[in-house]
Structure 1
Amino acid sequence: MFFESILPVALAFLVVTASPGPAIIAVSLVTLQRGRKDGLLFGLGLAVGLGFWGLIAATGLGVLLQSSAQALIALKIIGGLYLFWLAWQSFRSSMNPRQTAAKLSSKGRWLWKGLLLNLSNPKAVFAWMAALSMGLGNDASGALIAISTTLCITIGLLTYGVYALAFSLPGIMEGYRRIRRSVDAVVAGLFAVAGLGLIRSAVSR
């Protein structure tokens, strides 16, 4: 019963985390622009952000957040504005023909930037709620919840790490440099669409 409860949670969270979204796009782009080290730091920040929402969901505060219209609206607007900012950064990069991969972004602090991205992502807490509900009932023990939460955080860290390692391969980075402006323009559009979706969702409530 122990593994029957944890396995569905782990599989559900893996599907949600590994699916393409703003976090995956961002860690991939940071890696392409800045290299493996900054990509891994950004991924670590994303994982820490996931961990925060995991604690919120595991302690039952996620239900309160979902039921609070004002809190959700504020979080969605903040998340949408941050995605617009990422879109603007990518768009600026795509418009600069002389910009090199080493100069695409400002100073480091990539861990904090990854943390901010997932902290401002309301979908993260929904993903946690969905994953935990797959195998944990209302009578789940504290130890089981703690183990499941820790496992999901580890899955998130490994997932972002795999993306960072994959996109830091020499062949992929060289290909990115050849078509950097096109890639950055597409990424800017994806961030803008995601940000618009969050803000529209907040306004329509």
Structure 2
Amino acid sequence: MISLQFLLTALVVVIAPGTGVVYTLATGLGQGRRAAVWAALGCTIGIVPHLAAAVLGLAAVLHTSAVLFQAVKFAGVAYLLWLAWQALKSDGALAISAAPHRLAPWPIARRAALINILNPKLSIFFLALLPPFLSGTPATATSEMLLLGAVFMVLTFAVFVLYGTFAALARDAILSSERAMRWLNRSFAAIFAALGARLALERA
């Protein structure tokens, strides 16, 4: 169940930089701490469908169905490339500028959620991560997976908020340099494009 080993494993997974971390950092730098918190919330909400799929056994179906896996995967690739474009555009939602394009909280959270929802590997990841930490009692397996998944989500939200807060604190220093803003926008665009390319090469 909720052992120190599980907490450490989950923490290492959450801390490792991924698409959600990059999105939260970009949002914190571009729009401040409040927007970064909404981005962290959205990334956390995006875990729910994959956790549900793992609990219900749908992840196994996704893993064995090449067509379904490819469909979700390339939707995710297209979305990441769109985020890359948003980082490059001067008026894009992810562009870092002295006068940022302010978004309402829910669009920020929705975009963050889609990042995780459109990553088919997450369902398979939960199917692999959670079972080793179960008690082995069939009657409580579902509730135990839900509890472990909930703990993973809490860790995700907390760590992402810290990432976003750090980015927001660095915002003032970044805004004082046009060169730094251009470099960061291009860097975030390149990272999203690279993550999209990596996802495109993933196999079920």
Q: TM-score range by the shorter chain?
A: 0.7 to 0.9
Structure 2 counterpart of 1:127:
125
Which moved further from structure 2: 10-19 or 61-70?
A: 10-19
What's the Cα RMSD here? Answer: 2.4
| Amino acid paired to 1:146 | L
| Amino acid paired to 2:118 | S
CA distance in 2, matches of 1:13, 1:88: 31
Q: What are the ranges of 5 or more consecutive residues in structure 2 without an aligned counterpart?
A: none
2:144 maps to 1:144: yes
2:64 maps to 1:63: no
1:13–1:128 contact (8 Å) kept in structure 2: no
| Cα distance, 1:148 vs structure 2 | 0.8
Of Structure 1 and Structure 2, the greater helix share is in: 1
SS of 1:103's equivalent in the other structure is: coil
Structure 2 counterpart of 1:84:
81
User: Of 91, 94, 116, which aligns to 2:114?
Assistant: 116
2:40 maps to 1:43: yes
The CA deviation string for residues 71-113 of structure 1, in whole angstroms up to 9 with x for no partner, is 1101110110000001111122399xxx734424666511111
1:9–1:131 contact (8 Å) kept in structure 2: no
User: Of 173, 176, 193, which aligns to 2:174?
Assistant: 176
2:60–2:124 contact (8 Å) kept in structure 1: no
Could you state the TM-score of these two structures normalised by the residue count of structure 1?
Answer: 0.84
Structure 2 counterpart of 1:189:
190
| Amino acid paired to 2:67 | Q
Distance 1:137 1:76, change over 3 A: farther
Identity %: 25
1:36–1:164 contact (8 Å) kept in structure 2: yes
1:50–1:156 contact (8 Å) kept in structure 2: no
2:131–2:145 contact (8 Å) kept in structure 1: no
SS of 1:168's equivalent in the other structure is: helix
| Cα distance, 1:174 vs structure 2 | 2.0
| Amino acid paired to 1:110 | I
Which moved further from structure 2: 100-109 or 145-154?
A: 100-109
Distance 1:105 1:84, change over 3 A: farther
CA distance in 2, matches of 1:201, 1:147: 29
| Cα distance, 1:139 vs structure 2 | 4.2
The CA deviation string for residues 142-182 of structure 1, in whole angstroms up to 9 with x for no partner, is 3322211111111111121111122111xx11232221110
| Cα distance, 1:122 vs structure 2 | 2.1
CA distance in 2, matches of 1:77, 1:60: 22
CA distance in 2, matches of 1:201, 1:150: 27
Structure 2 counterpart of 1:165:
165
Q: What are the ranges of 5 or more consecutive residues in structure 1 without an aligned counterpart?
A: none
Structure 2 counterpart of 1:155:
155
1:94–1:185 contact (8 Å) kept in structure 2: no
Could you state the TM-score of these two structures normalised by the residue count of structure 2?
Answer: 0.84
| Cα distance, 1:134 vs structure 2 | 3.4
CA distance in 1, matches of 2:129, 2:197: 26
Which moved further from structure 2: 48-57 or 141-150?
A: 141-150
